[in-house]
Structure 1
Amino acid sequence: MSAAAEAGLRRIFDVVDLLIDAVDEENLVPALLPLLLGAVPGDSIVWAPNPDPTHRPRTLPADLLTPDALAAFDRDAAADPLVAHTSAATGTPLRRSTLQSDRAYHALAAYHEVYRPLGAERQLAMSFAGGYADGTPRSICLAINRSGSDFTDDDVLTAALLRTRLAHVLRRLAPPPPQRYDVTRRESAVLALLAHGLTNQQIARRLDISPRTVDKHLEHAYAKLRVGGRVEAANAWLTRGDALRPASWTGIVAGHR
């Protein structure tokens, strides 16, 4: 392996090492951006979550995008084929030069108002699943800019390798909201008592219903939880109880020890 190839591999490993140790997105992104620019060399980089009203785009250099540039981007983005690729297509790493000629690029309103002031004559962009923000799935658009030579095939390959790992760590750091289950208050009460070790007859006495009614509640709960029997249902209550408890279930199991 050549010295250049070995150095490039080391830069990729630096990104992967950081992702493995990441504990939150707020601290990850500022440390990540310079490492990404090392792995896929460029003059600047933009990390843009969408939709995520609490997180504006992060850039390196930090003051890359002015408010006027952001407003111009929002206004002109619909006519930009690279933006369309990252927002509505597969989001795989792609060079702008693969999509359009320099002449077509320079004719974009966004080129004059956003990209040229950044020195973004060449661009490599991709998007990937970015976990959840306020319960809503989001994506991350990552764009690397250059003023000089175009990105190489090796740059595209490196970006593709990192894209998978970036999506994985974002799923871990911004997980989906807990799943809710459409169990009724009475089904929830039966599950709670079942998880506390009561038999159907004991559950019936506690809730002042018949054992047959307990059977029916459990039958319905099994279907909703996609479990096959008492043990799995009890385990579901113990491991996923917060998603199974209606707001007014408190006190149902009070007094049982």
Structure 2
Amino acid sequence: MSAAAEAGLRRILAVVDLLIDAVDEETLVPALLPLLLAAVPGDSIIWAPRAGTADRPLTLPADLLSQDVRDAFAREAATDSLVRHTTVGPGTPMRRSTLQTRSEFHALAAYTDVYRPFGAEQQLAMSIPAGGADGTPRRVCLAISRRCGDFSDDDVLAAALLRTRLSHALDRLAPAAPAPAAVTRRESAVLALLARGLTNQQIAHRLAISPRTVDKHLEHAYAKLRVGGRVAAANAWLTRGTSDVRARR
């Protein structure tokens, strides 16, 4: 192994070591950005917590993006093929030069308003699959920029290796989705009769309550069971059984 390759491997391992010890994303990212910028060398790095949203990105240098640049990016990102690759495409590590020529890049309004102001003449970007705070999948966008000198095949390979490890770490650090709420005894009684095929009117008569109250119990039960209809609610209640029913009415 050449000295350069060995040094590159050490920089990647430094990132991996940090990911192993991380306890939450909020404290991880500020320490992570300089290590990523060493592993895939560039002049600046942008970390967008949710690719394609208005969430404010974290950057190194910290004052990289002015408000005018962020506003211009929001207006013009849809015309940028590299942004589309990271937000709605496969999101694998990609050099801008692979997608467009230098003249094509310079012809973009986004080049004039967004990239030229912070010296992003060459870029390597990717999105990282990760878990979100609400338990739903998300993409974190990572873009490294240079003023001169394109990214090499080795840089793309290093980014690909890091992408897998970053994804695993972010999944591990994502807050667990809240457990579904348990149905009450009265909601359970309504669901039991629903599962037997009774109509709302019949359920109301059987339980000596109004049809409107049945509707309300079902509305609450749908939300707790995370379903959208009568059949799905009955099936979910039968699957979960009565162990989730609370002691209160």
Bin for the TM-score computed over the shorter chain: 0.7 to 0.9
**Distance (whole Å) between structure 2 residues aligned to residue 39 and residue 90 of structure 1:** 22
C-alpha deviation, 1:148, in angstroms = 1.1
**Distance (whole Å) between structure 2 residues aligned to residue 40 and residue 187 of structure 1:** 59
1:32 is paired with a residue of what secondary structure? helix
C-alpha deviation, 1:62, in angstroms = 0.2
Equivalent position of 2:92 in the other structure: 92
**Distance (whole Å) between structure 1 residues aligned to residue 12 and residue 5 of structure 2:** 11
Equivalent position of 2:193 in the other structure: none
TM-score by length of 2: 0.74
Q: Aligned runs of 1:210-221 on 2, under 5 Å? A: none
5+ residue gaps, structure 2: 190-233
5+ residue gaps, structure 1: 191-218, 226-232, 238-243, 253-257
Counterpart residue identity of residue 67, structure 1: Q
Counterpart residue identity of residue 239, structure 2: K
Establish whether residue 82 from structure 1 lines up as the match of residue 97 from structure 2: no
2:49 is paired with a residue of what secondary structure? strand
Counterpart residue identity of residue 161, structure 1: L
Q: Deviations along 1:236-257, whole A, 9 cap, x unmatched?
A: x6xxxxxx45xxx2458xxxxx
C-alpha deviation, 1:75, in angstroms = 0.3
**Distance (whole Å) between structure 2 residues aligned to residue 130 and residue 80 of structure 1:** 23
TM-score by length of 1: 0.72
Counterpart residue identity of residue 71, structure 2: A
Equivalent position of 2:111 in the other structure: 111
C-alpha deviation, 1:137, in angstroms = 3.3
Q: Aligned runs of 1:101-250 on 2, under 5 Å? A: 101-134=101-134, 136-180=136-180, 184-186=183-185, 224-225=239-240, 244=244, 249-250=246-247
C-alpha deviation, 1:189, in angstroms = 8.1
Equivalent position of 1:36 in the other structure: 36
- Aligned 8 A contact 1:8 1:39 in 2: yes
C-alpha deviation, 1:175, in angstroms = 3.7
Q: Percent identity?
A: 62
Q: Aligned runs of 1:48-87 on 2, under 5 Å? A: 48-50=48-50, 55-87=55-87
Q: Deviations along 1:102-133, whole A, 9 cap, x unmatched?
A: 00000011100110111110000000123213
Counterpart residue identity of residue 184, structure 2: R
1:179–1:39 distance in 2 versus 1, CA, 3 Å: same
C-alpha deviation, 1:174, in angstroms = 1.4
C-alpha deviation, 1:66, in angstroms = 0.7
**Distance (whole Å) between structure 2 residues aligned to residue 46 and residue 221 of structure 1:** 43
1:115–1:6 distance in 2 versus 1, CA, 3 Å: same
Greater shift after overlay, 53-62 or 109-118?
53-62
- The count of aligned residue pairs is 205
C-alpha deviation, 1:18, in angstroms = 0.3
Counterpart residue identity of residue 73, structure 2: F
**Distance (whole Å) between structure 2 residues aligned to residue 187 and residue 158 of structure 1:** 57
Establish whether residue 45 from structure 1 lines up as the match of residue 45 from structure 2: yes
